[in-house]
Amino acid sequence: MTLDQMLSIVNIFVSIVIAIIVYCLSKKLSAKEVYNHEIFITKEVTPFLGRKAILTDVKKYDSKKYDRSQVHLTNKDYYKQACKIHRIVQRYGIEVELRDSDKFVTGLIPFEWVEYIAENDSEDTSIIIVCKFKGIKWYKNFKSPIKEILNQNF
């Protein structure tokens, strides 16, 4: 291999790395978008403080295989977790209470994990918080939308 060929290969490799970095940076939300999302979620959740809510996994709830106008989702179609909305923690997320066998546990769902809020669906009359289930493992080794447990002796 000549020196020109080696430099060409290195040049192509560096170009690919730069393209990947630029692509990853373009997918991140700006500070203003993060703030606007926090305000939007806060306004949606505030009327439901102290009430029961359902946490659902966005991957299952918004699955492309369901035509939401024709097929009603049922409990077996997606992961969900019952909770009570405790309060909004500014800049961090939604604090919820979960039942852990014989005690209640308080957990925090970050704002960036919450996709949107739905009033209800065909089976549940409670508010539905559609979010990313990528937090701690909770029930039967399924991941939950809870990033951290705040208080285990509630």
How many other β-carbons are positioned within 10 Å of the β-carbon of residue 80? 21
Q: Is residue 102 part of a domain?
A: yes
**Residue listed under structure tokens 């939300």:** 29
Q: Which helix (H) or strand (E) holds 137?
A: strand 137-139
Q: Is residue 139 part of a domain?
A: yes
Q: Is residue 8 part of a domain?
A: no
CA distance 134 to 146: 8
Residue 112 phi, psi (nearest 5): -70, -15
pLDDT at res. 19: 92
> 40: alpha, beta or left, given left = phi > 0 and alpha = psi -120 to 50?
alpha
Given a cut of 70, is residue 132 above it in pLDDT?
yes
Look at residues 126, 147, 133 and name the one whose alpha carbon lies nearest to residue 78: 133
- pLDDT tens by residue, 85-111: 989 988 889 998 887 667 778 889 999
Q: Is residue 23 part of a domain?
A: no
The number of distinct structural domains making up the chain is 1
Q: Is residue 11 part of a domain?
A: no
pLDDT at res. 23: 86
Q: Is residue 1 part of a domain?
A: no
Average pLDDT of the chain to the nearest whole number = 79
Separation in Å, CA 117 to CA 26, 34, 146: 26, 16, 16
Q: Is residue 135 part of a domain?
A: yes
The predicted model gives 5-14 an average pLDDT of: 92
pLDDT at res. 90: 87
The predicted model gives 29-56 an average pLDDT of: 87
Which residues form the domain of 72? Answer: 31-151
Q: Is residue 141 part of a domain?
A: yes
Tokens representing residue 4 in the block: 């020109």
Question: From start to end of 15-120, where are the E strands?
Answer: 52-57, 80-89, 93-100, 103-110, 114-118
Check residues 67 and 38 and name the one with the higher pLDDT.
Answer: 38
76 HSE (CA, 13 A, CB side) = 0
The predicted model gives 126-132 an average pLDDT of: 86
